[in-house]
Chain A
Amino acid sequence: MPINYNLPVFEVIRDPSRCIKCRVCERQCANEVHSYDEENKIMLSDEAKCVDCQRCVTLCPTHALKIRENENRFRRNANWHEATIREIYKQADTAAVLLSSMGNPEPLPVYWDKILLNASQVTNPSIDPLREPMETKVFLGKKSTEIKRDSNGRLITDMDPQLELALPVMFSAMSYGSISYNAHECLARAAAELGTFYNTGEGGLHSDFYKYGPNTIVQVASGRFGVYKAYLEAGAAVEIKMGQGAKPGIGGHLPGAKITDAVSRTRMIPQGTDAISPAPHHDIYSIEDLRQLVCSLKEATGYKKPVIVKVAAVHNIAAIASGVARSGADIIAIDGFRGGTGAAPTRTRDNVGIPIELALASVDARLRDEGIRNNVSLVVGGSIRSSSDIVKAIALGADACYIATSALMALGCHLCRNCQSGRCNWGIATQEPDLVKRLNPDIGYRRLVNLMTAWDHEIKELMGGMGINSVEALKGNRLMLRGVGLNEKELSVLGIKHAGD
């Protein structure tokens, strides 16, 4: 046995009393973990290839399969964790940067879970959303309180361009290339049915999806893939991607293997070449440069579409957001350090950036202190996991939330965090036709609509419980929040009181 033998991370547990040897697991595993031994008539497993995506477990008709973490352990050490040791062996073997995908899985604080919501009791009534109107419609864009009237004294009702959302959630940027055609179709159709928006990510817009333009946010990132006039005009808004929560400060790298014919046409790069997004935009080295790009994009789209600037939540996010708010941008999207990715260096994903809860609280407070909160809408993302996370985010000061990981989970993602392999067994993070077809958009888009419909109901229930019947009255309403188990500094950054106070 060579010294670089790495023990499999997972064990495949097959219950022989249940297995009927239908071989569905074998057919469904793109990693070729399962196989059938014709001679001995037994199912075999090559566990080293298993990524715990749960596809076989889900499809096994007799529920004969379980995947669990390998119980074999290196000698326990509170300093040298199992994963750390494995990573060292791997790098000693390959000399390579470690790659990961999806969001930061480390046990860092999740502030959403330490914030509790209020409800009405006695002194004012809670409101039943089944009996009374309950409004979750949101307009994103610059608001003006400067009143202008015509010569007859009538209000002049011209507004800066706005995005109208039927519910305060949008699907955040995931490029075609990093995810499949079918995944994009699911997102586009769901956004259209729900009255919200999905985001092309930096990979351009497939020609089939221009028809969903009114529900599409087109992204302009540092690689400028697929960006041209018709693309900008196709969307309802243009998003400049300055950073991503999963990998602040670095660019992207989509390997040539994923640049299929259709991806190459959409991205406008040769088939099979790596698609490399530079770390910075090379025409934006400072805030005044950003302003020029914002203005150029507005000029290119006739000042009819809001421009979003997406930034990763980093240490001085409040100052950055203040600068962005003065750059002419209509919407600031902030992506927290738990945000997902199709591939990122592990060290960056797990160690760079700050929690979205704290970033949001400090940005909202800073923009209000400076009196410019109305100049921009705030959209936050980076692991928004449920309707209560959304309600808490809005009460902290967000206008709306971006979700992506939870949307992918509705499509089948089981968070195995191996998007970078390109062999997604759920047909999401892959370009292989056999795998892509596993995601039937008729099913996928319906599940997305279901998820959002359920969340919208829950948002309404929670708002009603607080006696609030419109989401505007929840925005920045921090008295509706209390912290549990947070220290003074955390409470002061979040701008909330402790429970019981």
Chain B
Amino acid sequence: MKRIFINKQWCLGCHLCEFNCAFANSGKTSMVTALKDKQVRPRVRVEEHGKDTFAFSCRHCKDPICIKSCISGALHKDNGIVRIDYDKCVGCCTCITVCPYGAIARGDDGVMRKCELCVDNMDGTPYCVSNCPNGAIVFEERD
């Protein structure tokens, strides 16, 4: 299965991925209307440690601890992708506490949000990948 990987060497720390992610998941057709004067809640985060930067999102683990811990059965695997059923999520935040990567966050509506590889957005390619200016975020099959 294709997943998102980071080539840390090429991450510029520009944070464009975050804004593109938030836009892609906004359902809007313009980034301005999607993000202007709004709280931006991306599902990918750029971690910074001095000059070291790298973008970071859900790993879609083989055996995800978030799914095991989900009390309502909202988190589930769909073709290898860890997804959330928003109708089932009760906003208990257990998944946030167990995810070792900090890849899950709460949305404005209190329901959890996480990277779902843009399967329902755009043209099916994760938007952070197609808009990374330096090829630092890639979507590929790896062992």
A and B touch in the complex (CB under 8 A): yes
Interface residues of A (CB under 8 A from B): 17-20, 22-24, 27-28, 59, 61-62, 433-434, 437-438, 440, 442-443
Most buried by B among A18, A20, A434, A437: A20
Most buried by B among A18, A27, A434: A27
Q: B36: CB under 8 A from chain A?
A: yes
Which residues on the A side are within 8 Å of B51 (C-beta)?
A: 433-434
Q: Say yes or no: B134 contacts A440, CB within 8 Å.
A: yes
Q: Name the prevailing secondary structure of the B interface residues.
A: loop
If A20-B36, A62-B32 touch, whether A440 touches B19 (CB-CB below 8 Å) is no
Q: Say yes or no: B135 contacts A442, CB within 8 Å.
A: yes
Q: Say yes or no: A22 contacts B32, CB within 8 Å.
A: no
Nearest 3 pairs between A and B by C-beta?
A20-B35, A440-B10, A440-B135
B residues 28-66 near A (Cβ < 8 Å) are: 31-32, 35-37, 40, 51
If A28-B12, A437-B9, A437-B10 touch, whether A20 touches B19 (CB-CB below 8 Å) is yes
Nearest chain-B residue to A412 (Cβ)? B133
Q: B13: CB under 8 A from chain A?
A: yes
Instruction: Kindly identify which residue among A19, A61, A442, A443 contacts B20, using a CB–CB cutoff of 8 Å.
Output: A61
Q: Say yes or no: B32 contacts A28, CB within 8 Å.
A: no
Q: Say yes or no: B12 contacts A22, CB within 8 Å.
A: no
Instruction: Kindly identify which residue among A61, A442, A443 contacts B16, using a CB–CB cutoff of 8 Å.
Output: A61
Docked CA distance A22–B46 (Å): 13
Nearest chain-A residue to B37 (Cβ)? A20
Q: B106: CB under 8 A from chain A?
A: no
Docked CA distance A434–B136 (Å): 14
Q: Say yes or no: B15 contacts A24, CB within 8 Å.
A: yes
Q: Say yes or no: A18 contacts B134, CB within 8 Å.
A: no
Docked CA distance A27–B51 (Å): 12
Shortest C-beta distance, A23 to chain B (Å), equals 7
B residues 70-91 near A (Cβ < 8 Å) are: none
Nearest chain-A residue to B134 (Cβ)? A440
Nearest chain-B residue to A25 (Cβ)? B14
Docked CA distance A27–B35 (Å): 19
Nearest chain-A residue to B133 (Cβ)? A59
Docked CA distance A28–B12 (Å): 8
Q: Say yes or no: A20 contacts B31, CB within 8 Å.
A: yes
Which residues on the B side are within 8 Å of A28 (C-beta)?
A: 12, 14
Docked CA distance A437–B13 (Å): 11
A-B contact pairs, 25 of them (CB 8 A): A17-B32, A19-B36, A20-B37, A22-B16, A22-B19, A22-B35, A22-B40, A28-B14, A59-B14, A61-B16, A61-B19, A61-B23, A61-B31, A61-B131, A62-B32, A62-B36, A433-B51, A437-B12, A437-B134, A438-B12, A438-B134, A440-B10, A440-B134, A442-B135, A443-B134
Please encode chain B, from 1 to 23, with 1 for each CB lying within 8 Å of some chain A CB and 0 for all others: 00000000110111110111001
Instruction: Kindly identify which residue among A18, A23, A442 contacts B15, using a CB–CB cutoff of 8 Å.
Output: A23
Q: Say yes or no: A59 contacts B16, CB within 8 Å.
A: yes
Docked CA distance A59–B132 (Å): 10
Nearest chain-A residue to B23 (Cβ)? A61
Shortest C-beta distance, A29 to chain B (Å), equals 11
Q: Say yes or no: A27 contacts B14, CB within 8 Å.
A: yes
Nearest chain-A residue to B35 (Cβ)? A20
Docked CA distance A437–B16 (Å): 16
Shortest C-beta distance, B141 to chain A (Å), equals 17
Which residues on the B side are within 8 Å of A19 (C-beta)?
A: 36
Which residues on the A side are within 8 Å of B40 (C-beta)?
A: 20, 22
Q: Say yes or no: B14 contacts A443, CB within 8 Å.
A: no
Which residues on the B side are within 8 Å of A27 (C-beta)?
A: 12-15
Docked CA distance A433–B53 (Å): 13
Which residues on the B side are within 8 Å of A437 (C-beta)?
A: 9-10, 12, 134
Which residues on the B side are within 8 Å of A24 (C-beta)?
A: 14-16, 19
If A62-B32, A434-B51 touch, whether A22 touches B15 (CB-CB below 8 Å) is yes
Docked CA distance A434–B32 (Å): 29
Which residues on the B side are within 8 Å of A443 (C-beta)?
A: 134-135
Docked CA distance A23–B48 (Å): 15
Docked CA distance A19–B35 (Å): 9
Which residues on the B side are within 8 Å of A23 (C-beta)?
A: 15
Which residues on the A side are within 8 Å of B13 (C-beta)?
A: 27
Docked CA distance A437–B52 (Å): 12
Q: Besides A61-B19, A437-B134, 20 other CB < 8 A contacts?
A: A17-B32, A18-B32, A18-B36, A19-B36, A20-B35, A20-B36, A20-B37, A22-B16, A22-B18, A23-B15, A24-B15, A24-B16, A24-B19, A27-B13, A28-B14, A61-B31, A434-B51, A438-B12, A442-B135, A443-B135
Shortest C-beta distance, B16 to chain A (Å), equals 6
Q: Say yes or no: B12 contacts A62, CB within 8 Å.
A: no
Shortest C-beta distance, B5 to chain A (Å), equals 14
B residues 96-142 near A (Cβ < 8 Å) are: 131, 133-136
